[in-house]
């Protein structure tokens, strides 16, 4: 089954404790992306990658890191999480950078930073 | 700057009626695509419909149609014959091509279908 998977689905952590949210897709997609969703703000792009070893900042990259060492994986790293990073996070992928290619979303990761 | 605006935080529609969800966009990129996604209460994001900036005809997908008015920079979603299962959050999104290939989302419209 074609899908984007994220782990963990739910995470409670404390301020400053490094964490990684994994994202993997099995569709051989070139383009991958991370978003955060907050009430009243919609989805905001954190980072995106158009291919292996190519990553770019989205609108809200501060406090986050990503890497794209393999085509299928695009982990999101919070080196020192803070309470304002409490949010719902989505990973997404699309076949290419072409405009008509929609994104396929993972199920989301709910993060609470205490 | 690239921006998507959805001015209707919440909408109600009677079952079997049609409803229009508004979306306006702003971009200086000559090539862009406009998407609508549905997010039910379960949280997943579901792709509904796509319109490219060079497309001459409005996109349609089943009960969904996109009313694309390029001069007005609007891309409204029309849902015909609303069903109870249409109750969800709806997001308009834009993908630009030359200026970074980012996606930009609106703040969403919560649609409630009344029996």
Query: How does pLDDT run across A36-46, given as a tens digit for each residue?
Result: 999 999 999 99
Cβ of A103 within 8 Å of Cβ of B104? The answer is no
Specify the pLDDT at position B97: 85
Write phi, then psi, for A75 (nearest 5 degrees). -75, 150
Mean pLDDT value across residues A92-114? 91
The more confidently predicted of residues A71 and A97 is A71
Mean pLDDT value across residues A60-74? 97
Residue A99 has pLDDT above 90, yes or no: no
Contact by Cβ (8 Å): B94, B4? yes
What is the Rg, in whole angstroms, of the alpha carbon atoms belonging to chain B?
14
CA-based nearest residue in chain A for residue B93: A43
Specify the pLDDT at position B35: 96
Tell which residue, B56, B39, B57, has the closest CA to residue B48. B39
Residues of A in contact with B106 (CB under 8 A): 42
Residues of B in contact with A56 (CB under 8 A): 100-102
d(CA B95, CA B90) in angstroms, rounded, equals 17
Most A CBs within 10 A among B30, B105, B106, B109, hence the mutation to make, goes to B105
At residue A96 the predicted structure's pLDDT band, cuts being 50, 70 and 90, is confident
Most A CBs within 10 A among B101, B104, B106, hence the mutation to make, goes to B101
Cβ of A56 within 8 Å of Cβ of B47? The answer is no
Mean pLDDT value across residues A84-113? 93
Positions of chain B with pLDDT lower than 70, given as ranges:
none
Specify the pLDDT at position A1: 85
Three-state secondary-structure class, residue B30: coil
The B-side interface with A (CB below 8 A) comprises 4, 6, 31-33, 35, 43-45, 47, 50, 52-53, 91, 93, 95, 97, 100-108
For residue B114, the distance in angstroms to the closest alpha carbon of chain A comes to: 23
d(CA B115, CA B93) in angstroms, rounded, equals 29
Three-state secondary-structure class, residue B84: helix
Q: Which of A42, A44, A50 sits opposite B108 (nearest CB)?
A: A42
Contact by Cβ (8 Å): B73, B2? no
Residue A48 has pLDDT above 90, yes or no: yes
Q: Which of A35, A42, A97 sits opposite B101 (nearest CB)?
A: A97
- Counted across chains A and B, CB pairs separated by less than 8 A come out at 59
């Amino acid at each position: 089954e074609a899908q984007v998977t994220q782990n963990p689905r739910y995470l409670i952590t404390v301020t400053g404790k490094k964490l990684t949210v994994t994202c993997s897709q099995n569709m051989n997609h070139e383009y991958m992306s991370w978003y955060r969703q907050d009430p009243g703000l919609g989805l905001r792009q954190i980072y995106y990658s158009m291919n292996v070893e190519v990553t770019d900042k989205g609108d809200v990259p501060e406090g986050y890191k990503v890497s794209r060492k393999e085509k299928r994986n695009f982990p999101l790293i919070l080196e020192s999480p803070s309470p304002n990073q409490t949010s719902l996070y989505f990973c997404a992928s699309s076949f290419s950078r072409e405009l008509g290619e929609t994104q396929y979303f993972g199920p989301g990761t709910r993060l609470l930073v205490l | 700057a690239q921006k998507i605006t959805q001015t209707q935080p919440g909408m109600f529609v009677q079952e079997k009626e049609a409803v229009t969800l508004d979306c306006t966009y702003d971009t200086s990129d000559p090539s862009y695509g406009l998407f609508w996604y549905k997010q039910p209460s379960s949280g997943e994001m579901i792709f509904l419909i796509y319109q490219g900036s060079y497309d001459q005809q409005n996109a349609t997908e089943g009960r969904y149609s996109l009313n694309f008015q390029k001069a007005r920079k609007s891309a409204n979603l029309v849902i015909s014959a609303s069903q109870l299962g249409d109750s969800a959050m709806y997001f308009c999104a834009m993908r630009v091509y030359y200026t970074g290939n980012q996606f930009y989302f609106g703040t969403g419209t919560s649609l409630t279908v009344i029996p």
